[in-house]
Structure 1
Amino acid sequence: MSYENTKPCVQFWQRITCDEKGRVNAIDFNIAAMMSSDPEFAPGGSVGPLKGRVPWERMGALGNLVLINLQGNAIHGPPLPANLTAFPKLYEILLQGNRFNGSLPDQISTLKALKKLDVSGNQITGSIPRGITTLSNLTWLAISQNHMADVLPPELGNLTQIVKLDIGGNGFQGPMPESWGSLEKLQLLNLQKLNLNGSFPASWAGMTSLNHFIAPAAHIRGPFPSFLLALSNLSDIVLYSNELYGPLPSAAELFAPPILTAIDVSGNYLNGSVPKVPPSRSAFKFSFSTNCFQPAAGADPLLVDSSPLPPTECSCFYSSLALGEPAQAISPSSSPSSPTTSTSTSSPSSPPSPSPSNPSASLSPSALPHGAACLLALLAASLL
């Protein structure tokens, strides 16, 4: 079908909607939706993904546009035009799962009505535009799985309406901002595969609506963040493949949150004993393999790490922290970056998507390496 010299709001273009005054206000080319629910647009489901670039320069006249949905295509080029003042009513931008490259423009601050921005799964570079932090209506910010890099901006704490903050899978680094503790409506926080350092701020206990805390492989070094257990709305905690150390909280504390259903701390350096999931929480998914736990004699087999770290690696790690050696360290796999998931319940837990957390070390770790590199360092020292 050719759309040349036709009028979208008079001739009812597919995937284009108009307001009551006959003005285009939505462009919806979600390829998955087109293939599954629009047989006229794609007879037999044969439509392929849209390719090429978005002709942003031709869209300047669409001042009533409120929705742009181009997710799941193969579009490249700039994710947004440099001049965004032409779209004062735009409140939803869905560009995830494409090949957009370049950076997000600073002028994004002009989109005062914007509520949802999802550009995850692209090839976007640069930093988070500080203009985003001025969008007081923004409830959804998803920029994960791109090539962005910067320190974590404290200004994101200004987004007091934010419900989803998904920034994992980028090159963000630095301490976790205290100001984020003001995000009282935040329900999902994804910090997967970031390069975090420092302690979890005490202010984060203010994230009282948090439901999903995802921070695997985030270079977090420190004790288990017990403040999470005070959040009554929390459903799952994902902290595998970090450098958590020390004991876990007691069973009474760990399994107290009423709707908490899953904890994954596999692939860390936790020691002590494994808390037992109470019978009343039999469906709880608790993954704790590849750590430095010490099973007690005659311990319940469900509380014994099936793939513990070698005692020498645990000892080396704790020595590098100047904390002393853990008591007979036994823990799963020798590489915390690829843990084998194990669970204390009858149904094993498959780890949710990764998400980095923070290194909340009360003691400053020394420069000594840990893991395999640490063992090599000790061997070299013994030969001197």
Structure 2
Amino acid sequence: MEIKFSVCFFLAFLLHLSTLSFINAEATDISTDKQALLALKAGISHDPSNLLAGNWSTRASVCDWIGITCGVRHHRVTALNISYLNLTATLPPQLGNLSFLVILSIRNNSFHGSIPDELAHLRRLRYLQFSFNNFINLKIPSWLGSLTKLQFLGLSEVKFSGTIPRSLGNLSSLERLHLDHNQLSGSIPTSIFNISSLQKLSLYQNQLSGSFPSILSNMTSLIYIDLGDNGLSGGLSATTFDHLPNLESLYLDKNLFNGEIPSSLPKCKGLQYLTLAINYFIGSIPREIGNLTQLKWLYLGYNEFQGMIHTNIYIYIYITNFLSRSYNCLL
């Protein structure tokens, strides 16, 4: 009797689960996407071109709306791109229901207010572009680190403050990280330099402090680093460039770096752009820089270098504005 009861209870439980699954499947279909986008439309206070007001009509299919792309297989919204429309708007929490979204781009608008935590549900997201908006005095949400499929994260000039979350180091597929032109403070998390897929890192013009992050493993994908116009200080370790074999661009200008240029710098054999201007570097310019035969731009002005400029630097490098208006003491 007890066995029969247990079996019946188990079957009832399975039926309950299947019913829930059916309800959930019904609850997240194209109509769910439509409601989420209509909530976004309702939060738009200024649409100068009147594009969304006229085009995002309930009479038309969501997949035919401007800025919307739907997937063929599941017939769900996979891309929302309303960049460069001069919109003034807020982001509704319902956007977190766009569960098949791969691309979300609202670049060059005037979005303001908060960034809903519900966006953490967009686990398929690969491209997130919020640059050039007005999220004033907001911190970068730590839950962004849970969007582990992200390949592109653009948060340039959105007026973020606070620190860079260490959780961004969890973005194991990330290729490009743009956090420039904000008011970010604190140190640069070393976790970012554990992302082996990272190609470009831009933190230009913030209020970051501390030292150049330690890089302990090879980052063969990283070709671009811009840490210019911050308050970074200290010296560059002798091993700083041991793990950046394919680096092409390095911008460290307008900081408080000191000490000598590491002789390991020429290990970045493909380096094309090197800017160390407006710092407190001392000592001589390493002769080995002359081995950087791909170098196109070299800015070293406003430092405290001394000694001779080795002839091989002139012979092997095409130098533009090498020591313009500098405070160096070179011969």
TM-score range, shorter chain: 0.7 to 0.9
Q: Would you say 1:24 and 2:60 are equivalent positions?
A: no
- Distance 1:227-1:83 versus aligned 2 partners, 3 A rule: same
Q: How far is the alpha carbon of 1:182 from its aligned partner?
A: 3.6
Is the CA contact 1:112–1:137 (under 8 Å) kept in the aligned structure 2? Answer: yes
Is the CA contact 1:277–1:284 (under 8 Å) kept in the aligned structure 2? Answer: no
What are the within-5 Å matches in structure 2 for residues 254-265 of structure 1? Answer: 254-265=289-300
Is the CA contact 2:56–2:62 (under 8 Å) kept in the aligned structure 1? Answer: no
| Cα distance in 2 between the residues matched to 1:292 and 1:93 | 43
Q: How far is the alpha carbon of 1:279 from its aligned partner?
A: 7.2
Q: Which runs of 5+ in 2 are unaligned?
A: 1-53
Task: Report the aligned-residue RMSD.
Answer: 2.1
1:329-360 Cα deviation digits (max 9, x unpaired): xxxxxxxxxxxxxxxxxxxxxxxxxxxxxxxx
Q: Which runs of 5+ in 1 are unaligned?
A: 32-47, 296-384
Structure that is richer in helix per residue: 2
Q: Would you say 1:203 and 2:239 are equivalent positions?
A: yes
1:45-73 Cα deviation digits (max 9, x unpaired): xxx51112222x12122100000111122
1:71-111 Cα deviation digits (max 9, x unpaired): 12222223x42133421100101111222231121211221
Instruction: Look at both structures and tell me which one has the larger radius of gyration over its CA atoms.
Output: 2
Q: Secondary structure at the match of 1:189?
A: strand
Q: Secondary structure at the match of 2:96?
A: coil
- Distance 1:130-1:16 versus aligned 2 partners, 3 A rule: same
Q: Would you say 1:126 and 2:178 are equivalent positions?
A: no
Is the CA contact 2:293–2:316 (under 8 Å) kept in the aligned structure 1? Answer: no
| Cα distance in 1 between the residues matched to 2:95 and 2:187 | 34
What are the within-5 Å matches in structure 2 for residues 69-108 of structure 1? Answer: 69-78=105-114, 80-101=115-136, 102-108=138-144
Structure-2 residue corresponding to 1:49: 86
Aligned residues: 274
Q: Would you say 1:112 and 2:148 are equivalent positions?
A: yes
Q: How far is the alpha carbon of 1:282 from its aligned partner?
A: 7.0
Q: How far is the alpha carbon of 1:286 from its aligned partner?
A: 4.7
Q: Which runs of 4+ in 1 moved over 6 A?
A: none
What are the within-5 Å matches in structure 2 for residues 1-384 of structure 1? Answer: 1-10=54-63, 12-20=64-72, 21-31=74-84, 49-55=86-92, 57-78=93-114, 80-101=115-136, 102-179=138-215, 182-204=218-240, 205-250=242-287, 253-276=288-311, 281=316, 283-289=318-324, 290-295=326-331
User: When the two structures are superposed, what TM-score results if normalisation uses the length of structure 2?
Assistant: 0.77
Is the CA contact 1:8–1:24 (under 8 Å) kept in the aligned structure 2? Answer: no
Which amino acid in 2 is paired with 1:285? Answer: T
| Cα distance in 2 between the residues matched to 1:217 and 1:177 | 17
State the identity as a percent. Answer: 23
Q: How far is the alpha carbon of 1:274 from its aligned partner?
A: 3.0
User: When the two structures are superposed, what TM-score results if normalisation uses the length of structure 1?
Assistant: 0.66
